[in-house]
Structure 1
Amino acid sequence: MTTTAPAPTGAPQRTDGVEHVDVLVVGAGVSGIGAAHTLRERFPDHTFAVLDAQEARGGTWWTHRYPGVRSDSDLFTYGYRYKPWRGPAIAAGEEILGYLDEVIEEDGLAPFIRYRHRVTAASWSSEDARWTVEVTRGDTGEQLRMTTGFLWMCQGYYDHARPHTPEWPGTDRFTGTVVHPQAWPDDLDLSGTRVVVIGSGATAATLVPAIAQKAGHVTMLQRSPSYFLAPPVTHELAVTLRALDVPEEWTHEILRRAYIAQRDELTRMSFESPGELHAFLIESMRPLLPEGFDVERHFTPRYRPWQQRIAVVPDGDLFAALREGRASVVTDTIETFTETGIRTASGEEIPADVVVTATGFDLSAFGGVEFTVDGEPVRFPERLTWRGVMISGVPNLAYVFGYFRQSWTLRVDLVCDLVARLFGHMEEKGARTVVPELRPGDAGMQVRPWCDPENFNAGYVVRSQHVLFRQGDREPWTHLMEYEQEREVLPQVDLDDGSLVYR
């Protein structure tokens, strides 16, 4: 049962014209809205604000508005545990935004959220025990300054402004239109056009069947294949439960547990029996593809299942577009763009009026914000993560980073719980500052990359390692665990094990 939140209590304070809040949340996507919910529910006397650089809520769901944009995870786990999802398991971007709007309204969060506020710098003063945050407001470029006792970074993990687009020979002579899904123009008409979608991940798998409904023909041009899974849009168990008029809260929890168990099993198989999972995924696709389709060439990846995300194609819509001849697949590298299309390394000419570069994104360390601690720049590649929630040597700062193999929001819920427990613990201790610091026993600890490519090696991870923080070889200096582990570990974290220093 959902209720409308009470009116805000504590008002932000101002000193010398500078606004101060107890907690400043950066980002109004799934993570930031989850953080704001936690603050409203558990710390009603804390003042806080949520800043977002974009024009509206939603994060990735506001940035990505290309045709057919939808979730790559089921909404029973992508939705918050406290807010039942009432729609189909796989949902369109607009439906997800509507869900977030309901959370904002029911929790009374709108007065706390400020859009078109981009955080550019944050400096910590140990003497004052607070962050000073520089903000650029809207298109005017107006410069604002805020202070806060605690900074909660929920800005997501990639650069929203600059998508990843490789450079190919000949793009300057191509006479058609080139567009990236992250910057999709509202007025692009694909009716009857020949479209080439470069890429093979979740975005390409979503775009191809969506635009094939209007385009003359769509070619998915991939350098190498990805794994795909074709679940039904609506889980048969959801149909049964709703037919029985089971309360939505029960349906949400039952389906949530069912999807978690399914993903846990796929993850377990990817490590313990990757060959068996590989065969399962390939053979699941085969009957959905056109007769005689070259599965080995076009849909048999060279990496272990779940070393990159398994792309979801609800009801096999991508395969249906291939069967119906509205789309085709070419597996090859690009030699050059031509005036009228693309020529591949094998010499094949692919005609195109529009080329969509579904080539992914680049990771961004905390939204590109410049951090300093007591006047010293924070160089994140020289820092270690503390349980994927805080950064060594950086006081009063938490961040949210979700899962690769489970829904992002499952970790949002866990991180919010841990940060809330940390706030309560600081109050009990009378502490104003908390900072992760290596213990004497951690001296000489092996430092590892942010992400081990043997674990996960998607392109955006591999090409961004150099800008991100590191991890150690032992807890609490590790991250990127699986939900099956963390749902037991994070709620039991010892906040007095010596790795957190309170002042």
Structure 2
Amino acid sequence: MSTRHTTDVVIIGAGISGVGVASRLRIEHPELDVTLFERRDAMGGTWDLFKYPGIRSDSDMLTFGFGFRPWHGTKVLSDGPSIKRYVEDTAAEYGITEKTLFGTTVESANWDSESQRWSTTVVNAAGETEIWTSQYAVLATGYYDYDNAHRPTWTGEKSFKGEFVHPQFWPEDLDVADKKVVVIGSGATAITLVPSLADAGAEVTMLQRSPTYIGTVPETDPVSILLDRAHVPKMVSYHVGRVRNIALQQGLYRACKAAPGPMRALLLAQLKAQIGDVDMEHFKPNYKPWDERLCVVPNGDLFRTLRRGEARIVTDHIKKFDRTGIVLEGGEHLDADIVVTATGLTIKVGGGIDITVDGQAVPVRDRMLYKGVMLEGVPNAILVLGYTNASWTLKVDLAATYFSRLVSHLRKGGYTSVVATADADERREVSVMGDSMRSGYIARGDAVMPRQGKSGPWRIKNDYFRDWPMLKRSKIDDGALTFTRQGTAVESIESDSVGV
């Protein structure tokens, strides 16, 4: 028999997204009882899962940190354990830790229109089934499949006598010293691994099918250091740096989209100054800047490793594997003891949870996303997805703020539910991952991610300066939302329509 529990808000996932939303609710709606379900035994989500050498953020920490709680470090890109600790400390500070049920797997969530409640079925750490009812549900699981990584298969790989390792499942006891290690990939994970493995004594080769745009950022933020020495209050310093870095992020992205030719020339010129005698052909992508996510390295650590001859880079396609390594299409053979498949991630929406409305399955791929937050036709729920072209957490903060405003609107008007609905001809065959980027994981995500619309709140902007007013200041009742009071759809109240 299932044990039944009641709460106000269920949040699925206790990573940076879940903790961000929960903390915002604790700040602005302390009257609400919030319960988080986390399948893992610890907080942190992605930052608890990934353990590969050198793991770090690929966004600057002033924008990757929460808007309501400063990141106090001076490193531009921070290591994974420090980010995990930041998430844990935030959860502790806002009373989220004790509201989190660890080792709890969410199986399904059903909205019942008659009771105006969500029923979420979970299996707890003891293996017992529980049913939690709530007014609101938050899907904060990100979009990675934690159980399955993306990994191509290659001809002859079963004959390889070495070891395959995927960064998502890095063995804690893996010894790479004096081993020949081939890292397959050219994205953020690969360029992080190469210098870290070389520092650990491995003979490293980075094998890429095609180059990626790679920029350099300073290891520490000079402006933050100056403000700290001037004894500027931490929150002031944090927000000054945060606004500056948001502007830089958005400015670079827009410049790359508006003038790809000149920006390509600028990025490659900056890179050429750092690589020394390394062949520049390994760093000339065949796509426009920001058609894929721009990768960054602190203080050019990758280039320094390559210049010193501590690692090398090869650009070619894999023909096959043999007993001792990889045969390339160009004829070269790469000897390998260990092959690291830094080949990407598998996309999964909502952690693969079965979502239903009145018992009817919600085909997420066929639903649009309203303001990048609410699934079309799904009441009292938000889907938290960060940016693909900026820091993930910037969008988490905006989504959490909008959700808080929405809750205030419902409570003030005496409503029990809200649902987003769109005109029949609004839908586009483009996923919320966007049509302006071509990264492999974005292409794979198209098969499972929600759609976006042609205009207005149904079109994903991926632009912080446009999303900010839409999610934090715009009119709540904009005609796309239907509000219900005691099971009956009613008109919203105009007095609560702006700036809640």
TM-score w.r.t. the length of structure 2 is 0.94
Report the CA distance between 1:487 and its aligned residue: 1.6
Q: Which residue of 1 aligns with 2:393?
A: 409
Report the CA distance between 1:247 and its aligned residue: 2.0
Report the CA distance between 1:413 and its aligned residue: 1.1
In structure 2, the residue corresponding to 1:196 is in which secondary structure?
A: strand
The answer to whether 1:362 aligns with 2:346 is yes
Residue 304 of structure 2: which of 320, 343, 348 is its match? 320
Decide whether the 8 Å contact of 1:208 with 1:327 is kept in 2.
yes
Q: Which residue of 1 aligns with 2:492?
A: none
* Structure 1 alignment gaps of length 5 or more: 1-14
Tell me the alpha carbon deviations over residues 87-123 of structure 1, each in whole angstroms, 9 at most, x when there is no partner: 1121101111121222122112211011111112111
Kindly tell me: are residues 16 and 368 of structure 1, through their superposed partners in 2, closer, same or farther at Cα, counting changes over 3 Å?
Answer: closer
In structure 1, the residue corresponding to 2:123 is in which secondary structure?
A: strand
Mean Cα displacement is larger for which, 488-497 or 193-202?
488-497
Residue 438 of structure 2: which of 457, 466, 470 is its match? 457
Decide whether the 8 Å contact of 2:7 with 2:133 is kept in 1.
yes
Q: Which residue of 1 aligns with 2:333?
A: 349
Q: Which residue of 2 aligns with 1:187?
A: 173
Q: Which residue of 1 aligns with 2:453?
A: 472
Distance in 2 between residues matched to 1:109 and 1:279, nearest whole Å: 47
Report the CA distance between 1:494 and its aligned residue: 2.2
Identity value in percent: 39
Q: Which residue of 1 aligns with 2:98?
A: 111
Q: Which amino acid aligns with 2:141?
A: Q
Tell me the alpha carbon deviations over residues 352-409 of structure 1, each in whole angstroms, 9 at most, x when there is no partner: 1001000110111211011111121111122111111011111111011111121111
Residue 189 of structure 2: which of 203, 223, 226 is its match? 203
Q: Which amino acid aligns with 1:94?
A: P
Q: Which residue of 1 aligns with 2:71?
A: 85
Tell me the alpha carbon deviations over residues 205-231 of structure 1, each in whole angstroms, 9 at most, x when there is no partner: 101111111233111101111111111
Decide whether the 8 Å contact of 1:451 with 1:480 is kept in 2.
no
Tell me the alpha carbon deviations over residues 233-288 of structure 1, each in whole angstroms, 9 at most, x when there is no partner: 11221222222222222221121122112112101111111112111111111121
Decide whether the 8 Å contact of 1:225 with 1:301 is kept in 2.
yes
Mean Cα displacement is larger for which, 52-61 or 234-243?
234-243
Residue 286 of structure 2: which of 302, 327, 336 is its match? 302
Q: Which amino acid aligns with 1:246?
A: V
Q: Which residue of 2 aligns with 1:7?
A: none
Q: Which amino acid aligns with 1:106?
A: E
Q: Which residue of 2 aligns with 1:6?
A: none
Decide whether the 8 Å contact of 1:174 with 1:341 is kept in 2.
yes
Q: Which amino acid aligns with 1:350?
A: L
Mean Cα displacement is larger for which, 443-452 or 120-129?
443-452
Decide whether the 8 Å contact of 1:381 with 1:468 is kept in 2.
yes
Report the CA distance between 1:304 and its aligned residue: 1.3
What are the residue-to-residue correspondences of 1:41-80 with 2, within 5 Å? 41-80=27-66
Q: Which residue of 1 aligns with 2:362?
A: 378
Distance in 2 between residues matched to 1:451 and 1:351, nearest whole Å: 41
In structure 1, the residue corresponding to 2:217 is in which secondary structure?
A: coil
Distance in 2 between residues matched to 1:212 and 1:153, nearest whole Å: 39
Q: Which amino acid aligns with 1:163?
A: A
Decide whether the 8 Å contact of 2:2 with 2:128 is kept in 1.
no
Mean Cα displacement is larger for which, 115-124 or 198-207?
115-124
Q: Which residue of 1 aligns with 2:83?
A: 96
Distance in 2 between residues matched to 1:30 and 1:365, nearest whole Å: 16
Report the CA distance between 1:195 and its aligned residue: 0.4
Q: Which residue of 1 aligns with 2:497?
A: none
The answer to whether 1:389 aligns with 2:373 is yes
Tell me the alpha carbon deviations over residues 162-212 of structure 1, each in whole angstroms, 9 at most, x when there is no partner: 110111111111111101000011110111111000000000010111111
Kindly tell me: are residues 168 and 85 of structure 1, through their superposed partners in 2, closer, same or farther at Cα, counting changes over 3 Å?
Answer: same
Residue 260 of structure 2: which of 274, 278, 283 is its match? 274
Mean Cα displacement is larger for which, 237-246 or 176-185?
237-246
Q: Which amino acid aligns with 2:112?
A: S
RMSD over aligned CA atoms reads 1.5
Report the CA distance between 1:435 and its aligned residue: 0.8
Q: Which residue of 2 aligns with 1:8?
A: none
Q: Which residue of 1 aligns with 2:487?
A: none
Distance in 2 between residues matched to 1:282 and 1:264, nearest whole Å: 20
Distance in 2 between residues matched to 1:36 and 1:365, nearest whole Å: 20
Runs ≥4 residues deviating over 3 A: 451-454
Mean Cα displacement is larger for which, 483-492 or 392-401?
483-492
What are the residue-to-residue correspondences of 1:273-292 with 2, within 5 Å? 273-291=259-277
In structure 2, the residue corresponding to 1:337 is in which secondary structure?
A: strand
Distance in 1 between residues matched to 2:358 and 2:255, nearest whole Å: 47
Report the CA distance between 1:446 and its aligned residue: 4.6
The answer to whether 1:248 aligns with 2:227 is no
Decide whether the 8 Å contact of 2:145 with 2:346 is kept in 1.
yes
Kindly tell me: are residues 105 and 444 of structure 1, through their superposed partners in 2, closer, same or farther at Cα, counting changes over 3 Å?
Answer: closer
Distance in 2 between residues matched to 1:453 and 1:410, nearest whole Å: 17
Report the CA distance between 1:146 and its aligned residue: 1.4
In structure 1, the residue corresponding to 2:137 is in which secondary structure?
A: strand
Q: Which residue of 2 aligns with 1:334?
A: 318
Decide whether the 8 Å contact of 1:383 with 1:470 is kept in 2.
yes
Report the CA distance between 1:500 and its aligned residue: 0.7
Report the CA distance between 1:319 and its aligned residue: 0.4
Q: Which residue of 2 aligns with 1:35?
A: 21
Distance in 2 between residues matched to 1:454 and 1:146, nearest whole Å: 38
In structure 2, the residue corresponding to 1:218 is in which secondary structure?
A: strand
Distance in 1 between residues matched to 2:424 and 2:19, nearest whole Å: 37
Distance in 1 between residues matched to 2:458 and 2:288, nearest whole Å: 26
Q: Which residue of 2 aligns with 1:12?
A: none
Q: Which residue of 2 aligns with 1:445?
A: 426
Distance in 2 between residues matched to 1:493 and 1:236, nearest whole Å: 36
Q: Which residue of 1 aligns with 2:494?
A: none
Report the CA distance between 1:80 and its aligned residue: 0.8
Decide whether the 8 Å contact of 2:357 with 2:378 is kept in 1.
yes
